[in-house]
C-alpha cells in the first residue's frame, strides 16, 4: 500500500460560496475575454492581496454561452467585495456589458439547479 496524505476533515476545510452572474450585453462574450477583464477589474478594485484573501476562482466548466451565465467561488466573508468588484465591470474587450449578480449559494449543485436549470 502506498502512503497517501490524509485529506482534511470537513470541519477543518475552508467554507466556500458560489456566486452566479449573468452578462447583459448585445454581443456574445467569450469566457477568455471575461476572465481577463474580471481579473484585472478585481485586482484594480481590491488589490492583489485582497484577491488572494477572497480565494476567488472562476469555474470555467459551468459557463453557459447561450444564457451568458457563469459562477465564481469565493470565501463567505468576502462575498460582498466580489459582487461589488464584478458589478464595476463595464467593458469587456471594448464591448459594453453589465454583470448582474443572480444569487449566492453554498453548494455548486444548488447553483446549477437554481440558475442553470440542470
Sequence ranges of the domains in the chain: 15-116
Query: What are the tens digits of pLDDT across the range 21-40?
Result: 999 999 999 999 999 998 99
Output the DSSP codes for 51-102: HHHHT-EE-GGG-BTTTTEEEEEE-GGGHHHHHHHHHT--EETTEE-EEEEE
- Rounded Cα–Cα distance for residues 116 and 36 (Å): 23
Q: Supply 99's cell numbers.
A: 454583470
Query: What are the tens digits of pLDDT across the range 35-75?
Result: 999 899 889 988 999 999 999 999 988 999 999 999 999 99
Contact, 26 vs 86, CB < 8 A? no
The second-level CATH assignment, the architecture, of 15-116 is 2-Layer Sandwich (3.30)
Residue 2 has pLDDT above 80, yes or no: no
**Beta-bridge partners for 20:** 71, 103
- Rounded Cα–Cα distance for residues 98 and 105 (Å): 21
Crossing angle of helices 79-87 and 31-46, in 10° steps, is 110
Residue 117 has pLDDT above 80, yes or no: yes
Query: What are the tens digits of pLDDT across the range 64-109?
Result: 999 999 999 999 999 999 999 999 999 998 999 999 999 999 999 9
Q: pLDDT band for position 1 (50/70/90)? A: low
pLDDT of 111: 93
pLDDT of 100: 95
Amino acid at each position: 500500500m502506498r502512503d497517501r496524505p490524509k485529506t482534511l476533515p470537513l470541519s477543518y476545510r475552508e467554507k466556500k460560496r458560489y456566486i452566479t452572474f449573468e452578462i447583459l450585453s448585445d454581443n456574445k462574450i467569450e469566457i477568455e475575454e471575461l476572465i481577463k477583464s474580471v481579473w484585472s477589474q478585481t485586482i484594480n478594485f481590491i488589490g492583489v492581496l485582497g484577491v488572494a484573501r477572497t480565494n476567488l476562482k472562476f469555474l470555467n466548466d459551468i459557463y453557459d454561452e447561450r444564457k451568458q451565465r457563469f459562477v465564481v467561488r469565493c470565501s463567505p466573508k468576502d462575498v460582498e467585495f466580489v459582487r461589488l468588484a464584478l458589478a464595476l465591470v463595464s467593458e469587456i474587450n471594448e464591448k459594453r456589458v453589465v454583470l448582474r449578480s443572480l444569487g449566492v449559494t453554498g453548494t455548486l449543485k444548488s447553483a446549477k439547479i437554481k440558475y442553470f436549470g440542470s
